[in-house]
Structure 1
């Protein structure tokens, strides 16, 4: 369902941008990124901490769940009003602040849904978690199609997103109450317990805020430094990176729960690491190579864009997918460290990566435009991914099967050569993708990568 619903939603989002224009969509992208920068105030690390703790320690009483739920509910109520203050201080006008409030409200509903999903993941209920992960996208697809018939605008699109997130939350509260008892969702005002939660979860909260800054600071800086039009163009390119990275954000949280569950069992943990590298690596390698040779094909729905705008987005996109290629090999290691005690190290490295990204943006944006932000993203991701490898090897944090990395590198070389050859002989994109896909499947089997999944 994820592989069906989310691509449809992605295509519709392209159509939304094409309908409302790059400037209006650029404003939405900047406001959305600004809200995401402060999303840590909605979570404070609770979701990730709850997944890790309850996966490793079964048998938690309903009152423990209730305490966490009450804390999350208060955070969700405060957050939209806090963002109004942020928007005012930054200098947004009244109409823009109203849109920022609505975007922030949708995030409040989203984080409550993520809390429920964290409980599903902790109790290893991955099927219902997957359904919850696509519910908002499904409702958004239906609502967006309706808006296209009525006449879509930036305002009614943002309003739709609020309604969609509230509906998704209400739908999955019902099975959650049945699975975990109504007492788990009762409200308790308990400041002392909430202080204890913050003490326990702040390492995860710091990871959340740092990842938010790492991922969204570019969009905000582009809008402030280059304007709404440039922000819209960058959003058009970044959307595709974000979309394909969504595959990892669907898969890796499941591995996060498994890493936490088996952290004291080295043999099983080693198998899960290998499996996570293969499952997350092969698709990301394939799509990265596709974008480098046929990336312009992804902008087919932006028919109202000029050739110069398409060319600028394509150039930016191809650079951004250098970061996706890096994540293909190393994203699983970051999830491993988060689940097994490496939070503090990740926080330190993320701070360094953010500093690198911001400094490079200041230097490169006036010089290279939106491609400068893409270059900064790739360099900062090289830094953070290298730090994961350094920590694991230096501290012997977990046993790694180096042959898996070597095989993935060989598979990447084969994929690159195949797409290069197809592009050189001017094969159409779908024939090049099909041919390369068959080669990737064949060599994956020939390299026995499937056996590492089978043994798990």
Structure 2
């Protein structure tokens, strides 16, 4: 079982490392360069709104389904057909509510049309995630891993063709980009459902009112958490457009160009959380001490996230210049500030799964609610005067606050003793790296080589300070995956 776990985990991570960065930094970035910052910014705003209203699409069902099937695998067939029927009804509700909100906001008929296709894509994506959770419950992990990147792989092929062939690139527009996603999601969904039918027999729509009522009741806390997370992570773009009527789309495009890099990094942080959640759950269930794993995991992700944040911040002009045709000192300033949001997000990828495994949903919801209020108020104050730079300040502040509050709640709930030696080492590491990266302008070597040099020095310092305690992590992971 242990070998199978690590083999499947390696396969999953390898596929995601191969496909998702190509999609985000290769295709998605190129689309913005081709269609223009303002046009992509308008799309980014609509996409953000579709993310914010996802509470109506899932209402926490996927989270509940994952936990239920892990304990009741024999009921998969009946459970799948019931929940799939519910999700089809919720899809209709989700699209209707989102379009009504778009209409009330004042979107044009073209924006409403594009928003409807984006909502359809989100609905298809949600159905794919649901189908994959059932395949994973059958322990068909390799199929699940392939499906996890199939949609993005298809988008790379379709959009890549449009963007590479000169005659097609000349006519490429944002609608083609959205339609490419629709086709890719449909193919992936049919593949997932086809596999479920193949291994599980007939697949019939079966809606049970009592089952639906009970399911919605149990999944509502997850739904509220998902809603709040969507709000504080995506409201920036929507507020940029509404608070800046003349330049909102362009500013949203600038924000999207910086946000894209953080989005790529978050893909890998999420995989870290996926690994830790079941391990924390088992350890807590066995009443084992999780402090060692928490400290070691947090230290590893803090070291890498700090190096990444400082790299993006101090080398923002060079990075933006090589990625975007219309990069400017202003867009570099946005990235430089927004990069520090990853430090808070990375922290949440450790303590979020810990609190989830411990059943602290109320605390997670409370922190997320605070984050929504803080982010909204900061955006309301900063965007009118500072535009997308103000949104980047709001986002970084909010995410750093979330990470800090998650640590505070975790320490309180688990009664972790203060580890002053670790805190001092982390402080030394942080100060030393800030000083190191501050010398960036003094070096007369190519910036890419300088990043490599700084990264090597930073990692060497981490080993010198004994921040990487992998020998403590591996035995725990091996033990909890047997």
| TM-score higher than 0.5 | yes
Q: Distance in 2 between matches of 1:358 and 1:442?
A: 40
Residue of structure 1 in register with 2:119 after alignment: 104
RMSD, aligned CA = 2.6
Q: Tell me how far 1:246 sits from its aligned partner.
A: 1.9
Residue of structure 1 in register with 2:472 after alignment: 452
- Distance change (3 Å), C-alpha of 1:271 and 1:127: farther
1:385 aligns with 2:419: no
1:81-135, Cα deviation, whole Å (9 max, x unpaired): 3322222222111111110000000001100111123335556665444433322
Paired residues of 1:121 and 1:254 also in contact (CA < 8 A): no
Which of 28, 35, 42 is residue 13 of structure 1 equivalent to? 28
Q: Tell me how far 1:433 sits from its aligned partner.
A: 2.4
Q: Distance in 2 between matches of 1:247 and 1:36?
A: 20
Q: Distance in 2 between matches of 1:38 and 1:311?
A: 34
Q: Tell me how far 1:271 sits from its aligned partner.
A: 5.4
Residue of structure 2 in register with 1:65 after alignment: 80
Q: Tell me how far 1:136 sits from its aligned partner.
A: 1.8
1:429-450, Cα deviation, whole Å (9 max, x unpaired): 2212222333344445441422
1:336-392, Cα deviation, whole Å (9 max, x unpaired): 212321111111121111111111111111121211111111222233222212222
1:339 aligns with 2:360: no
Q: Distance in 1 between matches of 2:23 and 2:34?
A: 15
Residue of structure 1 in register with 2:181 after alignment: 161
Residue of structure 2 in register with 1:273 after alignment: 294
Paired residues of 2:342 and 2:399 also in contact (CA < 8 A): no
Q: Distance in 2 between matches of 1:127 and 1:408?
A: 38
Q: Distance in 2 between matches of 1:129 and 1:416?
A: 41
Q: Distance in 2 between matches of 1:432 and 1:177?
A: 53
Paired residues of 1:282 and 1:328 also in contact (CA < 8 A): no
Superposed counterparts of 1:168-247, under 5 Å: 168-178=188-198, 181-182=200-201, 185-226=203-244, 227-247=248-268
Q: Distance in 1 between matches of 2:179 and 2:454?
A: 42
- Distance change (3 Å), C-alpha of 1:441 and 1:387: closer
Q: Tell me how far 1:50 sits from its aligned partner.
A: 2.3
1:27 aligns with 2:27: no
- Distance change (3 Å), C-alpha of 1:213 and 1:314: same
Q: Distance in 1 between matches of 2:134 and 2:419?
A: 31
Which of 56, 63, 82 is residue 48 of structure 1 equivalent to? 63
Q: Distance in 1 between matches of 2:292 and 2:139?
A: 18
1:311 aligns with 2:329: yes
Q: Tell me how far 1:207 sits from its aligned partner.
A: 0.7
Q: Distance in 2 between matches of 1:443 and 1:59?
A: 51
Give 3-state SS (helix, strand or coil) of 1:369's partner.
Answer: helix
Q: Distance in 1 between matches of 2:269 and 2:58?
A: 20
1:329 aligns with 2:354: no
Q: Tell me how far 1:210 sits from its aligned partner.
A: 0.4
Bigger Cα displacement from structure 2, 429-438 vs 107-116? 429-438
Q: Distance in 2 between matches of 1:437 and 1:126?
A: 34
1:213-266, Cα deviation, whole Å (9 max, x unpaired): 011101100011122111111111111122212221233133223333443123
1:140 aligns with 2:155: yes
Bigger Cα displacement from structure 2, 287-296 vs 432-441? 432-441
- Distance change (3 Å), C-alpha of 1:51 and 1:287: same
Q: Distance in 2 between matches of 1:32 and 1:53?
A: 31
Bigger Cα displacement from structure 2, 126-135 vs 139-148? 126-135
- Distance change (3 Å), C-alpha of 1:229 and 1:174: same
Q: Distance in 1 between matches of 2:320 and 2:260?
A: 11
Give 3-state SS (helix, strand or coil) of 1:427's partner.
Answer: coil
Paired residues of 1:136 and 1:168 also in contact (CA < 8 A): yes
Q: Distance in 2 between matches of 1:208 and 1:349?
A: 12
Residue of structure 2 in register with 1:352 after alignment: 370
- Distance change (3 Å), C-alpha of 1:111 and 1:404: farther
- Distance change (3 Å), C-alpha of 1:445 and 1:16: same
Q: Tell me how far 1:3 sits from its aligned partner.
A: 1.6
The normalised TM-score by structure 1 is 0.90
- In structure 2, runs of 5+ residues without a counterpart are 1-14, 478-482
What number of residue pairs does the alignment pair up?
Answer: 451
Q: Tell me how far 1:404 sits from its aligned partner.
A: 6.1
Bigger Cα displacement from structure 2, 41-50 vs 195-204? 41-50
Residue of structure 2 in register with 1:260 after alignment: 281
